[in-house]
């Protein structure tokens, strides 16, 4: 097996620091201080002609004087000195370099020029260059510290190996999350921050972590991705290897995006698309550093069986109600327990307790320890639930701890404890397979996404559709007008409304007779995108005379509106009625490529932002999920006595639309069906209007 090309960067066998200092507070001194203090076992080469020795290590005058080429060189130099030194690194046979210096792309035109020079040089080499403007890395399993992060001096020391890797687009965020997670006892494998990503971007580090045997779990922070598709592929590899990925995406508000843009040079992608992409890859999207840390802790128990149906066991009706509210609010289920299980619980619970779920065993139950064991055993094997959450104040939890551990040892089901008191058995429980949370809010905010991840972990519909062959390249047969676009889409299963083209008023009348009245008449021109504005649409035409008149008026209006447009006649369509009008829109996201938006038509939907997004491809099952995400979905499922809509046909049309869009490849930047009329169940859908905008 060949080593990954980032191996010398992230797992170096020898490290040189150019610009070495004997002062641990300086950026040329801190990595050396860390390497010696934390016991890195590879060769360490401080380089600085001013010193003979730093931190008890021989200091070398220059790179060329070293006895061997180091795997990795850390450059603690000013920006202007960087590229010349990179040239010397290449000459010396160095495989990887980390550049600390700021003053590149993030610092105006002069800096951008420096970075362009750096990139151009590195492109001619085989070296891997991280940064610039990076805080450096740490491999906590080998103690290869190539960073100037003071957090390693202040956060609690890691004692053993770790399996959690941290990957951020900000050194300060890397340090902040590390500090919080270390306080919770999370053990790390990699500490990575990407800096300006001149040569190695976020997605490439993610690729490394996906294949890294020391990484089970990735925690990341993203400002803007430079390569969305590569990111998707790396994240997909996480899914395939059953690793968990937790990401924080910054720039959720305009002000936040502004602040991000002012110190990165990446394009601003759409937050909604990031969210959709994360969801498609079963990435847990976090909005809180502490939550990320708690999730990392919880992920240590990911091999226990779990899912979204939770049983809540408390000694207080109030606390049970609070937990049920919170879990349900976060998308989990708190199912009523089956009657036989309730009966079994009832045997040991006083009448003023509760047995349905949440279960209130009452404070008395701890006086009957045999019952706690019996009850937990019964819950651990019930197929009505997937996970068990026990909330009891410290001293009661202490009395239950042996039983909880015994049940956890015997059964693989996830059991979680919450203790807002001060249980003495927390460590015993954690070691015995029962994670313990010290706060309800914290427990819910970690458990909810974790259990949903567990639920979705078994099957990823997007990876499945993506593994199928991509549709063959196709082209529109003719000019990209409404009629041609609909005929193209029809080949992929998006059924158009009954329609035909007429070149004259008489032809229009004849076509209308054939379609059946009433009809719609629209100007047909690939050069007129806004037909209504052009006076180019007439609705509800009831007879041949009205059609003829409409034809003449529409042609006149369109010519007046767009004198240079090529007008190819009129399009006549049957008036159709249905349940709901959908919009299907495909647009090219600057980060992720072609994406799909599904929503209800109309001004209110826009105000209520009731849309669902996905990165393409989308199949029928995913289309069903998208429709289900719409708050207005009940309009298709019999809301208040309405007839059912043809949801299946809508899903087929959406999946067909996805294939049609992908088959166009680079020929279209935007494809829209607006509206797609969804008729009653069994009556299908009709594309009433459609549009392709070329790139």
Taking the alpha carbons at both ends of the chain, their separation in whole angstroms is: 42
Stretch that binds a copy of itself, among 91-99, 346-354, 374-382, 516-524 (CB under 8 A): 346-354
164: left (phi over 0), alpha (psi -120 to 50) or beta: beta
Q: Closest approach of Cβ 193 to a copy of itself, in Å?
A: 10
Among 23, 253, 305, 695, binds a copy of itself (CB under 8 A): 253
Structure tokens at 53: 């020795």
Among 134, 284, 296, 319, binds a copy of itself (CB under 8 A): 319
260 binds a copy of itself (CB under 8 A): yes
Q: Closest approach of Cβ 32 to a copy of itself, in Å?
A: 19
Among 97, 129, 140, 180, binds a copy of itself (CB under 8 A): 180
Pick the closer one to a copy of itself by CB: 68 or 328: 328
322-336 per-residue burial string, b: 16 or more CB within 10 A, e: under 16: bbbebbeeeebebbe
Among 96, 239, 354, 570, binds a copy of itself (CB under 8 A): 354
Helix, strand, coil percent content, the chain, rounded in steps of 5: 40, 20, 40
Give the relative orientation of helices 440-457 and 289-299 as an angle to the nearest 10 degrees: 60
List all residues 6 or more positions away from 334 whose beta carbon is below 8 Å from its beta carbon: 309, 310, 311, 312, 324, 327, 328, 357, 358
Among 184, 268, 321, 575, binds a copy of itself (CB under 8 A): 321
- CB atoms < 10 A from the CB of 86, how many? 22
315 binds a copy of itself (CB under 8 A): yes
Contact 346, 378 (CB under 8 A): no
Pick the closer one to a copy of itself by CB: 294 or 454: 294
Structure tokens at 89: 């690194």
Q: Where are the alpha helices (DSSP H) in 248-287?
A: 254-261, 271-280
CA dihedral 314, 315, 318, 321 (to 10 degrees): 20
644 binds a copy of itself (CB under 8 A): no
Stretch that binds a copy of itself, among 209-217, 281-289, 299-307, 559-567 (CB under 8 A): 281-289
Sign of CA dihedral 522, 523, 525, 531: negative
Contact 384, 356 (CB under 8 A): no
Q: Closest approach of Cβ 191 to a copy of itself, in Å?
A: 15
| Site for a copy of itself, residues 458 to 497, rule: CB under 8 A | none
Stretch that binds a copy of itself, among 85-93, 478-486, 603-611, 644-652 (CB under 8 A): 603-611
Contact 185, 207 (CB under 8 A): no
Stretch that binds a copy of itself, among 158-166, 339-347, 531-539, 604-612 (CB under 8 A): 604-612
Pick the closer one to a copy of itself by CB: 477 or 607: 607
Q: Closest approach of Cβ 493 to a copy of itself, in Å?
A: 29
640 binds a copy of itself (CB under 8 A): yes
Among 68, 328, 556, 644, binds a copy of itself (CB under 8 A): 328
Q: Give the separation between CA 494 and CA 527, rounded to whole angstroms.
A: 23
Q: Give the angle 562-566-571 at the CA atoms, nearest 5°.
A: 95
Q: Give the separation between CA 8 and CA 71, rounded to whole angstroms.
A: 6
Among 84, 161, 256, 340, binds a copy of itself (CB under 8 A): 256
Pick the closer one to a copy of itself by CB: 425 or 495: 425
Stretch that binds a copy of itself, among 65-73, 173-181, 375-383, 470-478 (CB under 8 A): 173-181
Backbone Cα Rg of the chain = 31
| Site for a copy of itself, residues 284 to 313, rule: CB under 8 A | 287-291
- CB atoms < 10 A from the CB of 167, how many? 24
441 binds a copy of itself (CB under 8 A): yes
| Site for a copy of itself, residues 384 to 423, rule: CB under 8 A | 393-395, 420-422
What is the x/- site pattern for a copy of itself, positions 94-133, by CB under 8 A? --------xx--xxx-------------------------
- β pairing state of 72-75 and 138-139: unpaired
Structure tokens at 12: 């170096």
Among 77, 179, 501, 565, binds a copy of itself (CB under 8 A): 179
Nearest to 356 by CA among 376, 374, 340, 372: 340
Contact 53, 33 (CB under 8 A): no
Q: Closest approach of Cβ 535 to a copy of itself, in Å?
A: 18
251 binds a copy of itself (CB under 8 A): yes
Using CB under 8 A as the binding criterion, the count of chain residues that bind a copy of itself stands at: 80
Stretch that binds a copy of itself, among 48-56, 202-210, 249-257, 568-576 (CB under 8 A): 249-257
Q: Give the separation between CA 387 and CA 609, rounded to whole angstroms.
A: 34
612 binds a copy of itself (CB under 8 A): no
Enter the DSSP assignment of 337. P
Among 52, 53, 252, 343, binds a copy of itself (CB under 8 A): 252
Pick the closer one to a copy of itself by CB: 52 or 439: 439
Stretch that binds a copy of itself, among 39-47, 229-237, 469-477, 628-636 (CB under 8 A): 628-636
Contact 16, 45 (CB under 8 A): yes
Among 634, 643, 644, 693, binds a copy of itself (CB under 8 A): 634
């Amino acid at each position: 097996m060949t080593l990954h090309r980032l191996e010398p960067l992230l797992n170096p066998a020898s490290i040189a620091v150019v610009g070495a200092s004997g002062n641990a507070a300086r950026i040329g001194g801190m990595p050396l201080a860390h390497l010696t203090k934390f016991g890195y076992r590879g060769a360490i080469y401080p380089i600085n002609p001013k010193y003979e020795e730093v931190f008890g290590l021989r200091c070398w005058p220059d790179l060329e004087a070293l006895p061997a080429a180091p795997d990795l060189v850390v450059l603690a130099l000013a920006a202007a000195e960087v590229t010349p030194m990179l040239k010397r690194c290449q000459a010396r046979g160095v495989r990887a370099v980390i550049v600390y210096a700021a003053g590149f792309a993030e610092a105006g035109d002069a800096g951008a020029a420096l970075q362009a020079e750096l990139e151009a040089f590195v492109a001619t080499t085989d070296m891997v260059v991280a940064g610039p403007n990076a805080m450096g890395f740490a491999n906590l399993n080998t103690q290869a510290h190539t960073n100037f992060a003071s957090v390693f001096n202040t956060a609690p020391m890691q004692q053993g190996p770790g399996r959690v890797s941290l990957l951020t687009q900000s050194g300060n965020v890397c340090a902040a999350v590390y500090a919080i997670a270390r306080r919770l006892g999370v053990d790390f494998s990699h500490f990575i921050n990407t800096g300006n990503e001149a040569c190695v971007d976020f997605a490439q580090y993610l690729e490394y972590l996906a294949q890294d045997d020391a990484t089970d779990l990735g925690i990341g922070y993203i400002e803007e991705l430079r390569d969305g598709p590569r990111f998707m592929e790396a994240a997909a590899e996480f899914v395939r290897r059953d690793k968990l990925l937790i990401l924080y995406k910054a720039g959720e508000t305009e002000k936040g995006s502004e602040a991000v843009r002012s110190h990165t040079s990446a394009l601003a992608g759409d937050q909604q698309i990031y969210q959709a992409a994360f969801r498609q890859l079963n990435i847990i999207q976090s909005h809180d550093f502490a939550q990320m840390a708690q999730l990392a802790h919880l992920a240590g128990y990911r091999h226990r069986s779990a899912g979204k149906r939770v049983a809540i066991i408390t000694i207080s009706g109030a606390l049970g109600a609070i937990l049920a509210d919170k879990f349900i609010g976060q998308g989990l289920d708190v199912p009523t327990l089956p009657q036989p299980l309730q009966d079994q619980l009832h045997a040991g619970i006083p009448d003023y307790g509760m047995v349905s779920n949440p279960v209130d065993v009452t404070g008395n139950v701890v006086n009957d320890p045999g019952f706690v064991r019996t009850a937990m055993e019964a819950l651990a094997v019930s197929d009505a639930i997937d996970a068990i959450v026990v909330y009891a104040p410290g001293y009661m939890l202490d009395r239950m701890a042996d039983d909880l551990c015994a049940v956890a040892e015997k059964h693989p089901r996830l059991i979680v404890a919450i203790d807002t008191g001060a249980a003495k058995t927390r460590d015993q429980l954690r070691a015995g397979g029962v994670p313990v949370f010290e706060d309800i809010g914290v427990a819910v905010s970690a458990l909810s996404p974790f259990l949903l991840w567990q639920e979705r972990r078994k099957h990823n519909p997007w990876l499945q559709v993506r593994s199928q062959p991509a549709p063959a390249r196709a082209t529109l047969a003719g000019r990209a007008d409404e009629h041609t676009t609909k005929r193209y889409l029809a080949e992929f299963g998006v059924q158009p409304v009954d329609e035909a083209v007429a070149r004259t008023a008489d032809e229009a009348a004849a076509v209308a007779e054939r379609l059946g009245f009433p009809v719609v008449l629209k100007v047909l021109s690939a050069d007129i995108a806004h037909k209504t504005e052009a006076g180019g649409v007439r609705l509800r035409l009831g007879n041949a005379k009205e059609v003829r008149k409409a034809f003449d008026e529409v042609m006149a209006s369109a010519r007046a509106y767009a004198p240079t447009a090529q007008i190819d006649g009129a399009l006549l369509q049957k008036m159709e009625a249905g349940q709901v009008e959908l919009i299907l829109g495909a647009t090219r996201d600057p980060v992720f490529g072609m994406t799909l938006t599904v929503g209800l038509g109309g001004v209110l939907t826009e105000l209520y932002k009731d849309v669902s997004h996905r990165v393409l491809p989308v199949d029928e099952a995913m289309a069903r999920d998208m429709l289900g995400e719409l708050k207005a979905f009940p309009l298709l499922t019999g809301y208040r006595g309405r007839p059912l809509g043809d949801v299946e046909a809508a899903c087929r049309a959406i999946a067909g639309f996805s294939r049609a869009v992908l088959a166009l490849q680079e020929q279209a930047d935007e494809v829209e069906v607006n509206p797609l009329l969804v008729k009653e169940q069994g009556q299908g859908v009709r594309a009433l209007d459609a549009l392709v905008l070329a790139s």
